[in-house]
Structure 1
Amino acid sequence: MRSIRAQLLQWLLPGIVFVCVIASAGMYYSAKQAMDADLDAQLGRLAGSARLALRNQTTIDLGGARVPALRAFLAKEEFQQPGQYFELWSSAGKPERRSLNLGKADLPRPSELTRDGTRYDAQLENGERVRVIAMQYPQSTNNEPLDFAVALSRSEGESRLSRLLADLIIGGVVCCAMLCLLLILALRYALRPLERVGEQAAAMGANSLHERFATEAIPSEIAPIVTRLNDLMSRLEQGFERERRFSSDLAHELRTPLAAIRTTSEVAAKWPDQSSLDDFHDITKAATHLQQTVDSLLLLSRIDMASANVSLQSVVLRPLIEECVSLHTPRAQQRDLTFNLQLDAASDIETDPSLLRIIASNLIANATEYAPHGSEIVIIATNDHPILRIENLAPDLTPEDIPRLFDRLWRKDATRNDSSHSGLGLSIASSGAQALGCTLHAELLETGTLQISLFPEK
């Protein structure tokens, strides 16, 4: 698994090196161009001095003697040492005069010369690189123009460029190393809050779900992640709390019938002559309640795993609801309850009929068991939302009871001792709705009517 730090370094380090190389190259070529411009400026001044010497031809020294001006020009100290050169050609290209430091060597002569001059780079016979400007100097009308060239050595400039290049390379390497180090330290510092979140998450367990990730001093980029993690921890805490409550309720549900079975069996074993059929009937009743509870738990488990195997098909609601109502009609008659069915004959939906049948059956069973004697149960299934709605009076419920209505094994205290109820019916219906991607919503109206609605997925 590649870390964020590694990916950032993989992209940023080459980028830093590239920027340093480009900057160094830019500085080097800028310096080179500046040196070339300075060399050309020096050549221009030297060429101007040569033109002046050729124009004057002679000069007067302090003793009054007439001395050729060109000789005086070439007698300068700069033409005695390597670095500054001069050569004069005839119109036919034959060398006529050259500076002493050239010896017998010649400056490279271009094929064509102009009065404005031609600048070019050349190499002397001794390997020295020079910058040359060659031009024509027009004489009087009766004389042909003179061709000459002056040159300056590039050695000093190239030496400075070499030193500059070495300094840039060394400085660039040091700069890149420092930037890379700063980048690594900056990334380590910037990712430290994320590492702290990871360490805190790794240390969390079932007993520390109440803890939350600190949102102070968290970078804005990872603040949404921390917020979502805190939301997740809140949901996990609620889920674990429901599981603990479910385990406690389940232990209570199983302990009561088991204790009844054990007590009755021990009494029957100790005093067999005093045993009666009622004792065995009590044992059968307790065992039946245990079996109903276990069967409901198994059904609940199967529904929780059924979301991946939902088989959707077109289902007409009216016959399915009527079938579920017929299953609970005997119990409704025992309690003098009536059904008010408001079913649309043409109402059909795309759903899993098995799961929808389980949901409807458990909702109707809950209404049949807890509606007051002689009351009415309203069942609505139309093309309008919700898919299904069941209404019945619930005088024992309060608004505070509604959030726990779908909890597993939850029942009002007044009916907890009734062994005919497992407290899992609405939990099974809620799990079935989730498997279908739907939602069960319970509401206690001001009239004391409990309204449970099945809404499709948004």
Structure 2
Amino acid sequence: MTIRSIRNKLVVTLSLSIAGLVLCILLAIDIAVDSWIDDEFDRSMQAKANMLMTLIREDSEGLFFDFSSQYMSEFNSQIEPEYFQIWNNENIVARSKSLDLFPQKNLPFKNLDMGTSKILENPLPDGRDGRIIYIKFIPEVSPNQQLDTNKVHKKGRGKGLTLAYAASSEEVNFILWLIDVIFIITTITVIIFIRLFVRKAIDTALAPLSKLNADIGQLRIVDKNARISIDEPIKELSPIVDSLNLFIEENRQLYLREKRLTSDIAHEIKTPIAELINLAEVSIRFPAEKELAVSFKPEVLQISLRLQKIVENLLLLHKYNDGQLAKKDACDLNQVIMRILEHSDVSALQFHLAKELPAIVSNLFALESIISNLVNNAKQYSPRDSKVIVATYNIEQSLVFSVSNPLYNPLDSSDIHQLFDPFWQKDTARSSHNNFGLGLSIAKTLSSAINAKLEVAVKDNAITFKLVLPIK
């Protein structure tokens, strides 16, 4: 499976996006500048052609072209000359002296409609690339002929003239080519700069993330002071750091819990094993003692059964830890309670069972185990001659089974948090061969397995466990 890089994806995405935007802007500027230069050149040709048109007059004797190459040397020079030619129909009326300098003596004729103009790309007589503007116009009448319109028409004024003005476009083309080259070089330079800038910016922005990754790699869960911190608060990283620190703390607590659990298991199993070893050694040393032989087997059986009970409880605890049990048993909560407790000493119990509780669908095995463990725990850790209150009631969409008993030893807040830890006992002196500190842990685990809540509260030197069961 290919590993994707967020950094590379950001670099490529941002580089392409910014480069594409800059390329579009530069392309638009290039097109606009090219068009502007082209238009300016065409306007300059139009202006020069209009100026030539103003030099043509018509009077009663015919056409008069008031042109002097002395003041317009571009039409007579051998260095970058310009050209013009005037036709009346297809008959040449006038042309520039610059046309005589080259083998091609005339500009090509173009027939146009009256009052129109056209610019064409065309090689000049000297071989350079150029443009020719053609204009079809009627020459201006001399002032002394303005009133004699009939005479003017008789002279053919209305037929119109065609003017062609030609100039080199090589300089314009060179400028346009130079602009295009500058555009290409600028585009490549900008793309390279954007690539480097984006890469540097992303590396700088991701530096705290890289440091965070390095800090995580150096963490050791066994270190009590292990904690992630960032030198400069960063809005996007702060929630991640907080979540990681919470995760580290939870896992450290789990590690310490498992470490303590392993130690407790070893301690609980060590005692009966030591008892078995002692019995075996005594039996071997005094094989002739009949009384010892009689009591040996029952004691071995009792110790073995205790070991079996510890192992069964541990297996039960780990089997349903973070698991789910199927809820397929429809039952009456009050009937389940009375059936479980009918063989126990009910003289120490006081019942407050609500009448007409709705039936629930749950897991009967888990329900019976939870009730049995909670009641046995209450009996074990209640003062002598005290009463354990067993109650049921209905709240909203849930049924509640509660067990309350007075405390033999007061519990503080730290004790409350450890009540459901395996093998934890407030007063180890009150431990018995039948209680190993696993009952509440098993009850908590099975409660989670049937989607029920097991809550605990201490008030007025009394402790109450509540099992909240959803009706549906």
Match of 1:168 among 183, 202, 209: 183
Q: Which residues in structure 2 correspond to 1:56-71 (within 5 Å)? A: 69-70=66-67
Cα shift at 1:32 = 1.0
In structure 2, give the amino acid aligned to 1:28: D
- Corresponding residue for residue 129 of structure 2: 128
Cα shift at 1:414 = 4.2
Residue 416 to residue 130, structure 1, CA distance change in 2 (3 Å) = farther
Aligned residues: 440
- Cα distance in 1 for residues equivalent to 2:233 and 2:244: 13
Match of 2:344 among 331, 345, 350: 331
1:118 aligns with 2:120: no
Residue 278 to residue 168, structure 1, CA distance change in 2 (3 Å) = same
Residue 195 to residue 108, structure 1, CA distance change in 2 (3 Å) = farther
In structure 2, give the amino acid aligned to 1:322: Q
Match of 1:393 among 377, 401, 405: 405
Cα shift at 1:82 = 4.1
Cα shift at 1:100 = 3.9
Match of 2:93 among 85, 93, 96: 96
Cα shift at 1:259 = 1.5
* Contact kept in structure 2, 1:440 and 1:453, CA below 8 Å: yes
* Contact kept in structure 1, 2:221 and 2:248, CA below 8 Å: no
> Deviations 1:115-168 (Å, cap 9, x if unpaired)?
xx5343422365724262524133443223222132433211110111121122
* Contact kept in structure 2, 1:386 and 1:453, CA below 8 Å: no
- Corresponding residue for residue 347 of structure 1: 358
Cα shift at 1:194 = 1.4
- Corresponding residue for residue 6 of structure 2: 4
Cα shift at 1:222 = 2.6
- SS at 1:252 equivalent: helix
In structure 2, give the amino acid aligned to 1:118: S
Return 5+ residue gaps in structure 1 as ranges.
58-66
- Cα distance in 2 for residues equivalent to 1:457 and 1:205: 45
- Corresponding residue for residue 147 of structure 2: none
1:211 aligns with 2:226: yes
Q: TM-score, normalised by structure 2?
A: 0.83
- Cα distance in 1 for residues equivalent to 2:212 and 2:137: 81
Q: TM-score, normalised by structure 1?
A: 0.86
- Corresponding residue for residue 335 of structure 2: 322
- Corresponding residue for residue 188 of structure 1: 203
In structure 1, give the amino acid aligned to 2:442: I
Q: Which residues in structure 2 correspond to 1:250-269 (within 5 Å)? A: 250-269=265-284
Q: Which residues in structure 2 correspond to 1:54-453 (within 5 Å)? A: 54-55=56-57, 69-70=66-67, 72=69, 76-78=73-75, 80=77, 81-82=79-80, 84-90=82-88, 92-102=89-99, 103-107=104-108, 109=110, 111-114=112-115, 117-124=116-123, 126=127, 128-130=129-131, 132=133, 134-140=135-141, 141-142=152-153, 143-144=157-158, 145-208=160-223, 210-274=225-289, 275-304=292-321, 306-307=323-324, 310-313=325-328, 315-318=330-333, 321-333=334-346, 336-372=347-383, 373-382=385-394, 384=396, 387-395=399-407, 396-400=409-413, 401-415=415-429, 417-453=431-467
- Cα distance in 1 for residues equivalent to 2:357 and 2:466: 22
After superposing the two structures, state which structure 1 stretch, 437-446 or 77-86, moved more: 77-86
> Deviations 1:409-447 (Å, cap 9, x if unpaired)?
111224454221021111111112222333321101225
- SS at 2:267 equivalent: helix
What root-mean-square deviation, in Å, do the aligned CA atoms of Structure 1 and Structure 2 show? 3.0
- Corresponding residue for residue 53 of structure 2: 51
Return 5+ residue gaps in structure 2 as ranges.
142-151
- Cα distance in 1 for residues equivalent to 2:165 and 2:217: 80
